[in-house]
Amino acid sequence: MPEDVRAALQGVIADLKRIPDVLAVSIVRRDGLPIVHSLPKAMNPKKIAAMAAAIVGTSEMAAVEMGQGDFIQSIVDSHGGKLLATGAGEEALLVTMVKEDANMGLVLLSVDRAVQTIAQLLDGDELLQTEAQT
């Protein structure tokens, strides 16, 4: 991936992280490989990327199977916070971890903006092919 694109993606993450309610952010491929992230060292970016891909892939299929239209996002709600996963173009997902009582209005607006930026940066390019691993 060209350095300028990577830097731009990291910029998107940095912008999101400026919101105090946002704890961690990760941009991953829809096939479960991490691209860039800001997760604390204790967390495994590869596992999170794969799980996010599984959750979104399944949720998108669920929306189709149950006639609920187009998937928008998935929110995993737990005691310590929420985990949002949203499509960011054809090949990527944005995974955002927020605090328990986050101001969701602000978070969702920011996530919305972020995924559009990511999609523009990644879609239509051969960029992600170069990240291919098994």
Chain residues binding another protein by CB under 8 A are 24, 29-33, 42-44, 46-55, 57-63, 65-81, 83, 91, 97, 134
Tell me the CA distances in angstroms from 106 to 22, 44, 79, one per residue in order: 10, 27, 20
DSSP assignment letter at 93: E
Q: Name the residue nearer to another protein (CB basis): 3 or 69.
A: 69
Give min distance, CB of 31 to another protein, in A. Answer: 4
Q: Name the residue nearer to another protein (CB basis): 11 or 103.
A: 103
Give min distance, CB of 29 to another protein, in A. Answer: 7
Q: Name the residue nearer to another protein (CB basis): 7 or 54.
A: 54
CB count within 10 Å of CB 18 equals 8
Cβ atoms of residues 96 and 112 within 8 Å: no
2 sits in which H/E element: none
